[in-house]
Amino acid sequence: MRITGVRLVATTVLAALTLAMGACADDSGSDAGAGSGTDTGSNSSGTIKEGLKVAFLPKQVNNPYFDTSDNKGGKVAVGEFKGTFSQTGPSEASPSAQVSYINTLSQQQTDVIVVSANDKDAICGALTEAKSAGAKIVTYDSDTKPECRDVFVNQATADGIAKSQIKLISDAVGADGGEIAILSATANATNQNAWIEMMKTELAKPEYSKLKLVDTVYGDDKDEKSFQEAQGLLAKHPNLKGIISPTTVGVAAAARYLSGSSYKGKVQLTGLGTPNQMRAFVKDGTVKAFALWNPADLGYLAAYAGGALASGMITGKEGDKFKAGKLGDYTVGANGEIVLGDPFTFDSSNIDQFNF
């Protein structure tokens, strides 16, 4: 009796596993044919090779921002140069889980890994290992250490973002100035911290002498936490006049809080947000103006940069030039950085023209 019982369970489990494995085998079959190019000869004036395997690895797969950049930008670009696009990644934004996915991509002999770093240092080792296995590494949105990747596609320079954000909050608050605060993402986010530093530099200029930065809080790019942090800011600083939230999750949460509170219209808000998320709040007067680049363009440019690298058209050194499809020509800057452009300002006059 005992033996049969065990055998029954064993058979069931084995059958289930076999089924699962069979299903997986089907999935992987489609990729198996696409070999990685071995031709590393100079190709500086040529075109991007066909059949490149380009994988996008966002901070987490369940984030609409990355859904737009990867599936509406990267995927289009990879289709244009006839490569194989894939998006993979952890369900939660953790560095250790991202390392695991980098390892997987490197084993799959991916030609280009396009990654947004959850931690500047933690994924460095895995990226180096993937690089030595033949992959080209492009970081986008959030960078790792320069020696661990080939190029970094920057959505905008820290300087450009800081200038635009301070200008927007200053215009919104008005000539009298007052106390302002920053609602950021996670405190380890490389890009956020660079922007905040530049904003402080910008605030030191005489024309902004009436604005006083009193606090920086972190919403961890979680809607709920950002909402509560916005609420906390107002409870803590009675004289607060404005909030800058340079992250799409944070600015939407803060706008949502302000629009339903008695502070609506009295406390100004600006930041980096997507038009679809912010439309309602621009129309009801909670937010006068905010900025962003087009995340789809960011993914698009990153894919082309990766394609150019893997085809030997560029190497990532300063001065390298390449053409990124409909976006036109780009030049690699210092430290292997490629800048998408200046952030774009959205307000009630133009917001209806955008849909992302």
Partner 1 sequence: MAVETPVREPVSPPRATARGLLGSWDLLVLVALVLVVVVGTLTIDGVGNPRFYRFVVLEAIPIALIALPMTLIVITGEIDLSVASTVGLTCSVMGKLWQSGLTSLPALIAISLVLGAVLGAVNGLFVTVFGLPSLAVTIGTLALYRGLAYVVLGDKAVADYPVEWTRDMIAPIPGTVIPWFVLVVAALAVLFGVLLHATPIGRGLYAIGNNAEASAYSGIAVMRTKFWLFVATGVVAALAGVFWTFRFASARADNADGLELSVVAAVLLGGVSIFGGRGGLLGVVAAVALLGTLRNALQLADVPANALTIVTGTLLIASVVGPNVVRMARGRLRRRPPEERTQP
Partner 2 sequence: MTALPTAPPGPTGPTAPTEQSAPTTAVHRVFVVRELGIALALLLLVAVTFATNTRFLSAQNVKDLLLGSTILAILAVGQAIVIITRNVDLSVGSILGLAAFATGTMLQSAPGLPIPVAIVVGMALGAACGAVNGGLIAAARVPALVVTLGTLYVFRGIDYTWATGRQINAADMPHGFLRMGNASILGIPVLALFAVVVLVAAGLFLRWYRSGRELYAIGSDPDAARLYGIPVGRRVFWAFVTSGALAGLAGVLHAARFGTIDANAGLGQELNVVAAVVVGGVAIFGGSGSVYGAALGAVLLTTIGSALPVLGINPFWQRAAVGALILAAIGLDRSLAVRMARRLRGGSDRGR
Residues 210-249 that bind partner 1 (CB under 8 A): 218
Q: Tell me how many helices (H) and strands (E) the chain has.
A: 11, 14
User: Least Å distance between CB 209 and partner 2?
Assistant: 26
CA 26 to chain centre: 31
Residues 246-275 that bind partner 2 (CB under 8 A): 252-253, 256, 260-263
Q: Mask of contacts with partner 1, 154-183, x by CB under 8 A? A: ------------------------------
**Residue tagged 């859904």 (tokens):** 67
User: Least Å distance between CB 225 and partner 1?
Assistant: 12
**Phi, psi dihedrals of residue 162, rounded to the nearest 5°:** -60, -45
Q: Mask of contacts with partner 1, 295-324, x by CB under 8 A? A: ------------------------------
Stretch that binds partner 1, among 22-30, 243-251, 285-293, 347-355 (CB under 8 A): 22-30
Neighbouring C-alpha atoms within 13 Å toward the C-beta of 300: 20
Specify the pairing of strand 268-271 against strand 136-140. unpaired
Q: What is the DSSP letter of 274?
A: -
94 binds partner 1 (CB under 8 A): yes
Q: Which residues sit opposite 184 in a β-bridge?
A: 218
User: For residues 32 and 235, which CB has a smaller minimum distance to partner 2 in the complex?
Assistant: 235
User: Least Å distance between CB 172 and partner 2?
Assistant: 20
* Site size for partner 2 (CB under 8 A): 33
Would you list the DSSP string of 8-49?
HHHHHHHHHHHHHHHHHHHHHHHHHT-PPP---S--TTS-PP
Specify the pairing of strand 289-292 against strand 240-245. unpaired
Footprint of partner 1 on this chain (CB under 8 A)? 1-2, 5-6, 8-10, 12-14, 17-18, 20-22, 24-25, 27-28, 31-32, 61-62, 86, 88-91, 94-97, 99-101, 103-104, 107-108, 119-122, 124-125, 186-188, 218
